[in-house]
Amino acid sequence: MSKILNIRLPASATTTEFKPGDFNQLKEAINQIVLQLNSTYTPVSSENNLAARGWMAAGAGAGGGFAGHVVGFQNSTGIRLPHALLMSDADQTNAGATSENLITYNTPVLEYDIYRDPSNPSRIYFNSPGQYLVNVKAQAVNKDNAVHELNLWAKNAGTNYPLSNTRFDVPVRKSATIWGHTTALTTGIFTVEDPTSEYLEMAWQADNTLVSLESYAAGTTPTRPATPSVILTASYISTATS
């Protein structure tokens, strides 16, 4: 309740003819106001906050949240948006100088509403339509004594995603046992309108088979974690534009 139901004050309280017998009536009115403040009164701002929480809570229809499709609204634990962290701790070789290679993921660290297909580990599916921020990092290695070109791009359901390619030069090796390295990084917004038919794949190509995506075991002196060949993160940022 955001209003105080005031008790009528003695009529003589508004005049100069205040009667001694009105003190008890005035005291009772004040007691009633204090009782309301201590028991049923809530400020308007608090009532607005409670109403907003009810609107965002789980459920549908009047008093129970949105009736339409909303991604991410949860219970009292807060908002949990679709997200994924996928890695590969395996080396990924180049099939040929003019071949397309699809990145695969064998270590799904986090998958919530976004997941890789275990039977086709290059494919990433999104359960909800919307726009997703995708970041990819690939550990490129060159074992040759010459600089080589590497390209990294996105595909939607097997079709190249427009303007998604990024070109890198992988440096020459330092010696026969110390190879050249570069980290191929790319980022973009992947739009999903039909989750039943659309999926994301990351493809790469290098102009020499001595270029690959390499993983490394944990190191020592100092102790440090293993290096995955690929890390991909994806997170929901907006509903689809259409």
Q: What is the pLDDT of residue 15?
A: 57
Separation of alpha carbons 186 and 203, rounded Å: 12
Instruction: For residue 206, give Cα distances in angstroms to 129, 138, 149, 166, 184.
Output: 33, 13, 6, 12, 12
Indicate whether 137 belongs to any domain: yes
Q: What is the pLDDT of residue 31?
A: 73
Average per-residue pLDDT in the chain?
A: 84
Indicate whether 216 belongs to any domain: yes
Q: Which residue has the higher pLDDT, 179 or 11?
A: 179
- The enclosing domain of 222 has a CATH number of 2.60.120.40
Q: Which of 3-7, 20-24, 65-69, 163-167 is predicted with the least confidence, judged by mean pLDDT?
A: 65-69
Q: What is the maximal distance between C-alpha atoms in the chain?
A: 109
Indicate whether 20 belongs to any domain: no
Q: What is the pLDDT of residue 196?
A: 94
Q: What percent of the chain has pLDDT over 90?
A: 64
Indicate whether 221 belongs to any domain: yes
Question: Based on the structure, what is the number of domains in the chain?
Answer: 1
Q: What is the pLDDT of residue 60?
A: 41
Residue 221 has pLDDT above 90, yes or no: yes
Indicate whether 138 belongs to any domain: yes
Q: Which residue has the higher pLDDT, 59 or 116?
A: 116
Indicate whether 182 belongs to any domain: yes
Residues 12, 18 contacting (CB under 8 angstroms):
yes
Q: What is the pLDDT of residue 30?
A: 74
Indicate whether 75 belongs to any domain: no
Tens of pLDDT, residue by residue over 122-144, are: 999 999 999 999 999 999 999 99
Q: What is the pLDDT of residue 41?
A: 61
Tens of pLDDT, residue by residue over 27-62, are: 777 777 767 666 666 666 665 665 555 444 444 443
Tens of pLDDT, residue by residue over 149-158, are: 999 999 999 9
Tens of pLDDT, residue by residue over 174-220, are: 998 999 999 999 999 999 999 999 999 999 999 999 999 999 999 99
Q: Which residue has the higher pLDDT, 2 or 113?
A: 113
pTM of the model: 0.70
Range of the domain at 149: 83-238
Q: Exposed, middle or buried by CB within 10 Å (0-12, 13-18, 19+), for 103? A: buried
Indicate whether 208 belongs to any domain: yes
Q: Which tokens in the block code for residue 34?
A: 């204090």
